[in-house]
Structure 1
Amino acid sequence: MTTASSASSASSTSSATTPTPGAPGGAPRRFGSLGPVGLVLAGGISVQFGGALAVTLMPRAGAPGVVALRLLAAAVVLLLVCRPRLRGHSRADWGTVIAFGIAMAAMNGLFYEALTRIPLGAAVTLEVLGPLALSVLASRRAVNAVWAGLALLGVFLLGGGGFGNLDPIGVAFALGAGAMWAIYIVFSARTGRRFPQADGLALAMAVAALLFLPIGVAAAGSRLLNPTTVALGSAVALLSSVLPYTLELLALRRLPASTFAILMSLEPAVAATAGFLVLGQSLSTAEAGAIALVIAASIGAVRTQVGRGRAKVEPVPEA
Structure 2
Amino acid sequence: MIRTTGSIATVSSREPTPSRADAVPPEILLLAAVSSVQFGSAFADKIFDRAGPGGTAFLRVLFTAVVLLAIARPSLRGRTRREIGTVVAYGLTLAAMNWAFYEALHRLPLGVAVTIEFTGPLAVAIAGSRKVVDVIWVALAGGGVVLLALRGGESGVHLVGVLLALVAASLWALYIVLTKRVGASFGAIEALAIGMAVGSFLVLPAGVVEGGSSLLLPGVLAGCLGVAVMSSLVPYTLELIALRRLTTAVFGLLMSLEPAVAALAGVIVLGQSLTAVLTVAIVMVVVASVGATVTGRARPDRPLDA
Instruction: With the length of structure 2 as denominator, give the TM-score of the two structures.
Output: 0.77
**What is the CA distance between 1:284 and its match in structure 2?**
3.4
Dislocated runs of 4+, deviation >6 Å: 246-250, 258-263
Amino acid at match of 1:278: V
Instruction: With the length of structure 1 as denominator, give the TM-score of the two structures.
Output: 0.75
Q: Secondary structure at the match of 1:300?
A: helix
**What is the CA distance between 1:150 and its match in structure 2?**
3.4
- Distance in structure 1 (CA, Å) of the matches to 2:282 and 2:236: 24
> 5+ unaligned residues in a row in structure 2: which ranges?
1-8
Query: Match for residue 224 of structure 1?
Result: 215
2:170 to 176, 179, 185: 179
Deviation readout 1:49-71 (Å, 9 max, x if unpaired):
11100111111211111111111
Query: Match for residue 215 of structure 1?
Result: 206
On the 8 A contact 1:104/1:205 being kept in 2, the answer is: yes
Query: Match for residue 122 of structure 1?
Result: 112
1:150 to 140, 143, 156: 140
211-220 or 285-294, larger mean C-alpha shift: 285-294
Deviation readout 1:16-41 (Å, 9 max, x if unpaired):
xxx64333x536x9599837x974x5
236-245 or 94-103, larger mean C-alpha shift: 236-245
Q: Secondary structure at the match of 1:118?
A: coil
Change (3 A) 1:278 1:171: same
**What is the CA distance between 1:118 and its match in structure 2?**
3.3
Query: Match for residue 101 of structure 1?
Result: 91
User: For residues 253-264 of structure 1, what are the structure 2 equivalents within 5 Å?
Assistant: none
On the 8 A contact 1:124/1:271 being kept in 2, the answer is: yes
On the 8 A contact 2:134/2:292 being kept in 1, the answer is: yes
Deviation readout 1:112-153 (Å, 9 max, x if unpaired):
222333333332233223333333324354444433443444
On the 8 A contact 1:188/1:249 being kept in 2, the answer is: no
> 5+ unaligned residues in a row in structure 1: which ranges?
1-9, 312-319
Q: Secondary structure at the match of 1:309?
A: coil
1:200 to 187, 191, 202: 191
Query: Match for residue 14 of structure 2?
Result: 21
- Distance in structure 1 (CA, Å) of the matches to 2:25 and 2:254: 18
Identity %, equivalent residues: 46
Q: Secondary structure at the match of 1:79?
A: helix
Q: Secondary structure at the match of 1:194?
A: coil
2:26 to 22, 27, 34: 34
On the 8 A contact 2:126/2:292 being kept in 1, the answer is: no
1:309 to 278, 300, 303: 300
Query: Match for residue 49 of structure 2?
Result: 59
User: For residues 268-307 of structure 1, what are the structure 2 equivalents within 5 Å?
Assistant: 268-305=259-296
Change (3 A) 1:65 1:140: same
Deviation readout 1:251-278 (Å, 9 max, x if unpaired):
69x987x998887653321110111121
Query: Match for residue 78 of structure 2?
Result: 88
Q: What value does the CA root-mean-square deviation take over the aligned residues?
A: 3.8
Structure with bigger gyration radius: 1
Query: Match for residue 71 of structure 1?
Result: 61
